[in-house]
Structure 1
Amino acid sequence: MFLKIGGFGLLFSTSVSYAMSISPVLVDLTPQKKVVSITLVNTSDQKLRYQANSLSWVQVDGKNHYQESKELLVVPPMVEIAPGATQIFRVTPRYPQSNKVEKSYRLILENLTAEIPSSSIKANEIIFRISHDIPVFIAPVHQTNISSRWLQCKAPTGQGCIRIENTGNQRIHFSDVHIQGKDWRQDLKVNDTILAGAWKQWTYDLPSNGSTPIKIQLKTANGMIEPVQYP
């Protein structure tokens, strides 16, 4: 998708000149649903070109790591989408699955549309070419287990640190972290995912009484999760 922005002086206007809608923005593959369709609609008046690439996604030492992967089959791998047309990409595991832990990937739909000639770009306009990055998950073949634990970690003076470990076999996605101590509470506004078997950590300002946390809660789309404190 290209985003076209124009402005002059104190007047500012935006318009999407090469628009593309996409659905869904997250893919869950399960033993019962082995193929998922992603729909792209070219709502612009220009032909757009996309290429599908897949990356494995792991988290090591609290950081995301990506590597090219052939474990997902995406059809078609490359396509040109006419103005006003709809294109469906089908995503499925390339090989039979026997995983006990959820697998995670990123599907990159890369926009390869040719650059617009500079002579066609008006003054005070900026054009962005945007690709789509879609999380893809392959569920465990057996029952899923959501569990987690938390512990304190090293932090600079005047701050505390909590580490949350995903001890289950499926990702945990949350939008807030609630830290509760004796007579105090702090809410960390985060929107993050911890993959199965991975961990992430955050620092926060210690309360004036210097007491340590006694309870952690994660706000998820399905309600609150309370990780177990690790001794």
Structure 2
Amino acid sequence: MRRAQFQRAIQRLAGRLLPRAAVLLGAGLIAFVPAQFADAAALQVSPIRLDLSADRPAAALTLHNDGTTPINAQVRVFGWSQALDEDHLERSDRVVASPPIVQIAPGADQTVRILRVGNTPVTEEETYRLLIDEIPNDQTAQTTGVRVQLRYSVPVFVGAPEGKPPVVDFALEHAAPPASAASGAALMLRAANHATGHAQLSQVRLEWPNGQSTQVSSGLLGYALPHATRRWPIAGAPAGAASATLHAVVNGEAFTTRIAVEPASGAAVSAVPAR
């Protein structure tokens, strides 16, 4: 009986959480627990991204309690930058959350206002991340017997250029030994963003000259922030490949280009659109 309940709990939580996995900060923070513990994973967050500007400095974030007991949540704001293929977060007071800590009744919503402080002009896109933490409370612990904490990460873009496609150079490079050993991939996809706005990459696929195809990501792959370079490992690339055709969705627009395989230390070259 306990085994059957446990399996049903996994299915329930997987159905609830996996569609939102793109906004969760780290899969290691998702815990599958028996059905009687499911209320500990009741926090839902929408929308999954926010866009602000100097003329539109505020937006609403909605937190929903899908459980049967009250939950507490905390919203913190971090400046978001990228370096050495990693995201870096630093506490920021240029964007604030009000209120930063809320209690949400069962089945209820709580609105948190996200506000850019000051009225200085936005000359280049500012990038932030909201970290929304579910704070286990005594009632949840007494009811379930465990404490499960979720963390959501929601991107916030201030002053994203409207109507301007990002200027991104794509290339394939041989993975350096540490990256190759860690991921098992011989090649890395490199995206160098030279624009003043972010580039969001999703539905990324590579077609090789031998007819083989590699699905890098069926959903969101990640972001290349303004003036940043990101790399992602490519598993299963054919040995000796010298080029590939990249198919992707960049900031919501379909994009296709031919890219070459370069040495790991090589400089990026501008992508040439496929014909």
Q: Do the two structures share a fold, i.e. TM-score over 0.5?
A: yes
Q: State which drifts further: 195-204 or 49-58.
A: 195-204
SS at match of 2:73: strand
Give 1:192's match in structure 2, choosing from 213, 216, 222: 222
- Residue 186 of structure 2 corresponds to residue 159 of structure 1: yes
Counting matched residue pairs gives 221
Q: Which has the higher contact order (CA 8 A, sep 6+)?
A: 1
Alignment correspondent of 2:170: 150
Percent sequence identity over aligned pairs: 19
SS at match of 1:163: strand
Alignment correspondent of 1:129: 149
Is the CA contact (8 Å cut-off) linking 1:23 and 1:40 kept in structure 2?
yes
- Residue 244 of structure 2 corresponds to residue 224 of structure 1: no
Task: Give the Å deviation of 1:131.
Answer: 3.2
215 and 120 in structure 1: CA distance in 2 versus 1, 3 angstrom threshold: closer
Task: Give the Å deviation of 1:222.
Answer: 2.5
- Residue 109 of structure 2 corresponds to residue 86 of structure 1: yes
Q: Which amino acid aligns with 1:149?
A: D
Task: Give the Å deviation of 1:58.
Answer: 0.7
Q: Point out the structure with the larger helix share.
A: 2
Q: Deviations over 1:11-52 (max 9, x none)?
A: 533243253333212111124432111122334332222222
Residues 61-72 of structure 1 correspond to what in structure 2 (within 5 A)?
61-72=84-95
Q: Deviations over 1:50-85 (max 9, x none)?
A: 222111111102111111111112111222233343
Alignment correspondent of 2:53: 30
2:161 and 2:243 map into 1 onto residues whose CA distance is 37
Q: Deviations over 1:102-144 (max 9, x none)?
A: 211111222234244766446xxx5522233211111247874
Q: Deviations over 1:139-185 (max 9, x none)?
A: 24787441111234333699333311112222222223333443445
What 5-or-longer segments of structure 1 have no aligned partner? 1-6
CA RMSD, 1 decimal: 3.0
TM-score of the pair, normalised by structure 2: 0.67
115 and 186 in structure 1: CA distance in 2 versus 1, 3 angstrom threshold: farther
1:98 and 1:145 map into 2 onto residues whose CA distance is 21
Q: Point out the structure with the larger strand share.
A: 1
TM-score of the pair, normalised by structure 1: 0.78
Alignment correspondent of 2:131: 108
- Residue 238 of structure 2 corresponds to residue 207 of structure 1: yes
What 5-or-longer segments of structure 2 have no aligned partner? 10-34, 260-268, 271-275
Greater gyration radius: 1
2:125 and 2:73 map into 1 onto residues whose CA distance is 28
2:165 and 2:119 map into 1 onto residues whose CA distance is 22
71 and 103 in structure 1: CA distance in 2 versus 1, 3 angstrom threshold: same
186 and 47 in structure 1: CA distance in 2 versus 1, 3 angstrom threshold: same
